[in-house]
Each structure stands twice: as C-alpha cells, then as structure tokens.
Amino acid sequence: MKIITDIEEMKEFSRNLKKSSKKISFVPTMGKLHLGHIKLIESAKKYGETAVSIFVNPLQFGQGEDFNDYPRDFENDEKILSDLAVPVLFYPKSDIVSGTETFLINPEYSEKLEGLFRPSHFKGVLTIVMKLFGIIEPDFAFFGLKDYQQYVLVKKMAEDFFLNVKIIPVETVREKCGLAMSSRNTYFDEDGKKAACAFYKVLSAAAGLFNAGESSAEKLNGFVIKELIRNGFKVDYAEITDADLKNRKQTALNGDILLAAVRFKGVRLLDNIFLLKK
C-alpha cells in the first residue's frame, strides 16, 4: 500500500490512475478504523481503485469538543488497510486546512438536528470533503448512513457543484447488541459500552411502535426521549423527518427517518432508524 502525505503527490497518483482508465473509489475517514469503515472500503473496492484518507479534521470540531482526545491509531489503521489490499492511503498533513479562507455551508441545514448542537460542524465537514474531492477527484465516494445528515449534505453539495462524483451510502454496521460502531466507542469501558446498547434498542422499539400503527411523531419522539432518559442518556434531540431531511414530521409516514443524538457517560453518540411498515 502506498502512503501519501503530500497533496501534489496525491493529485499525481490520482491523475495516473485516471490516465490508465481506472475508476477511483474514495473513502474519507478520521481513522481509528473499525468494522464500519471496513464495510465502506469493501463496498468501494467493488467500484474501482480504492483510496482511503485518514485525517482528523480540526475544522469540524467545535470549541470544547474532543479534537485533541479523538482516538488516533495510525499503526493499526495502516495494518488494517494493508490487509484489505487498499492501494493508496492519503494521510495529509495539517497544510490541507491551514490558511483556508473559503468555507462551504448549506444554510438550510446549519440550524437543523446536528447543526443546532454543533454549529460549525457541517461547514468543517463540507469544506474538508470538497478539498479531498479536489485532490483525489474520485468517481465514487462512500459515506456511512450512521452519519445520515452528513451523507445527505455531501450528496447535495456534489449535486449543487456539479461534481463528477457519485455519492454512495453504506448501511450502518452495528455491534451484536445494536450499538452503531464508532471510533468514539473506544471511550467506553466494557460496562459503559454494554449500557450504551440501549440507545439503538430504544430507536428500534420506536420503529416497532410505528410498524404497529403509531404515527404521531410527538408520541414516538416522546417515547424515545423518555426511554433514553430512563436508561441514563442525555438527549440532544430525537426527531422524525422525511428521508431528505427537509421537513420535520408531525405524522410519521413509511420511509421517514428517526434521528437522535445523545450523550452517555461523557460520550456523544449519533444514530438513526428508518420507519418502515413491514
């Protein structure tokens, strides 16, 4: 596996792949790789030569958030990627963000859901993703549905700027108990992680109530919030919207999505579930 830290060298590597008519599949990550990332990479490999990036992006962390503490384990990540036979790892230095004067925002989303709680988060995400797209020029880019709002925003950005990249969503990979895999799960001890499993269980129970006929968003969200609090979670939000995140729902319909963010033992967790009639 080739490890590239230099922006110009990465551009040239991509250009050479394109010259030999290869398609480029791209998986951006912040490292501390787990099975969720691995699923993205395995999906990407089916579409072309896979480039993975690892960069803990300071632009997407707010003041008082965990940028400094964010788990980093380059040695192990490198081993995982080599074992997966990934041809190139882009591991940029901080010069990829230093001196940036232009930032991307989507005003419609900056005040919704995550945006309410992390005001400059998506500005940082869209800006780094655009930079990475500019360097790598991928044909396909893979984003996890765990970060559903991020996926929707990146997809919209690619459409708005007529980028030649297809954004491909990948299902959330979960622990056996349902907890979505996340680099931040490493903050938990064994007991904490076990207890955090209740998060997805509560979301699943709400989806079950919807399937059984309950369509009042107030009741479904109320159920989620009450159950999460009962299990020791602090709830930032629990909301039902349509799948493109345009409208908050009062009456949930088949195909809507329930999104929630919580804090548990000092760790912030994000998850969602589609409301589907079975």
- Where do contacts with ligand AMP occur on this chain (CB under 6 A)? 29-30, 36-37, 39-40, 143-144, 146-147, 170, 172-173, 180-183
Nearest CA to 87 out of 25, 177, 15 is that of 25
Query: Which residue number, 78 or 147, has a Cβ lying nearer to ligand AMP?
Result: 147
- Cβ of residue 94: shortest distance to ligand AMP, in angstroms? 17
- Give catalytic residues, as residue numbers: 37
Q: What is the Cβ-side half-sphere exposure of residue 60, based on CA atoms within 13 angstroms?
A: 16
Shortest spacing between CB 153 and ligand AMP, in angstroms: 12
* Residues β-bridged to residue 53: 28, 90
CA gyration radius for the chain?
19
Q: Which residue lies nearer to ligand AMP by CB, 106 or 216? A: 106
Closest CB to ligand AMP among 171 and 218? 171
59 vs 181 by CB, closer to ligand AMP: 181
Here the tokens at position 180 are 């979505």
| CB of 223 or CB of 274, closer to ligand AMP | 274
- Residue 179 beta carbon to ligand AMP: minimum distance, rounded to whole angstroms: 9
Q: Is 244 helix (H, G, I), strand (E, B) or coil?
A: coil
Q: Which two tokens stand for residue 262?
A: 């919580």
Phi/psi-derived region of residue 135, left when phi > 0, alpha when psi is between -120 and 50, beta in every other case: alpha
Please state, in angstroms and rounded to a whole number, the distance separating the CA atoms of residues 214 and 223.
11
The CA distance from 102 to 178, in Å, is 39
What residues contact residue 174 under an 8 Å CB cut-off, 6+ apart? 180, 181, 200
CA distance 265 to 61: 19
Quote the least distance from Cβ 114 to ligand AMP, whole Å. Answer: 12
In the complex, minimum distance from the CB of residue 218 to ligand AMP, in angstroms, rounded to a whole number: 29
